[in-house]
Amino acid sequence: MFHKEGFKTILITGLIVVAGILITDHFVSNIWIQKPLMILFLLLFLLILQFFRDPNRKTALNDLHVIAPADGKVVVIEDVEEKEYFKGKRKQISIFMSPLNVHVTRYPVSGVVKYSKYHPGKYLVAWHPKSSEDNERTSIVVENKTLGEVMYRQVAGAVARRIVNYANVGQQVVQGTDAGFIKFGSRLDIFVPLDFEIHVGLNESVRGGETVIALKND
């Protein structure tokens, strides 16, 4: 299964690969050059397919849990001053996505979208400490009746040049469902209240829509 954001790219890449293989077959007679070129074209197509994959995930809906909004590795867990929306202290969890990770963004909690804003910016490497504030990004706040307001931020990286955000203010959303897409390497920041229990550790790999990253104690 592939994400809808990749359909156009997959089609164009497929056409380029087919054309490249046909041209190579017709004009390159040296088999030691011809075969590696054909293999490179096929590998390119396979890389594009794996990047836009959209695997089914089974989200265990729970209004006490904040789940990972994306696949990747946890690179930041720290208390920060969130200046854009909360204007106060929050606990930040950041997930870095390499080009090999699934790049679908999923809603970390169910609730109503209270805030959704796009910010143009730089393209620092996604693990840079300032990328959360300086890079191109979108910030989305979802209000859950049990958890309160939770923010997640899609951050573009040095390669990622397009952020897709489906969240609109006033929209009712469901935990684990499709919230958007970021093309190529990037990161997701999640901001929760300071008293939430963090359920992941640094350098831990997480699965979007499944891994519990924070929770509110009963």
Domain positions in the chain are 4-51, 65-215
Catalytically annotated residues:
186
Yes or no: domain 65-215 corresponds to CATH 2.60.40: no
**What does the pLDDT look like over 89-109, one tens digit per residue?**
999 999 998 878 888 999 999
Average pLDDT over residues 188-209: 96
CA distance 57 to 87: 34
Calculate mean pLDDT across residues 51-77. Answer: 92
**Contact predicate 159/182, CB 8 Å:** no
**Mean per-residue pLDDT of the chain:** 89
Side-chain-facing half-sphere of 45: CA atoms under 13 Å? 17
What pTM does this model have? Answer: 0.86
What pLDDT does residue 2 have? 82
For position 131, what pLDDT does the model report? 53
Looking from the CA of 157 toward its CB, the CA atoms found within 13 Å total 20
45-67 average pLDDT score: 90
Q: Is the pLDDT of residue 166 over 90?
A: yes
In DSSP terms, which residues pair with 118 in a beta bridge? 138
Tokens matching residue 67:
């789940």
Q: Does position 130 have pLDDT exceeding 60, yes or no?
A: no
Question: Which residues neighbour 154 within 8 Å (Cβ) at sequence distance 6 or greater?
Answer: 105, 137, 138, 140, 163, 165, 180, 182, 186, 188
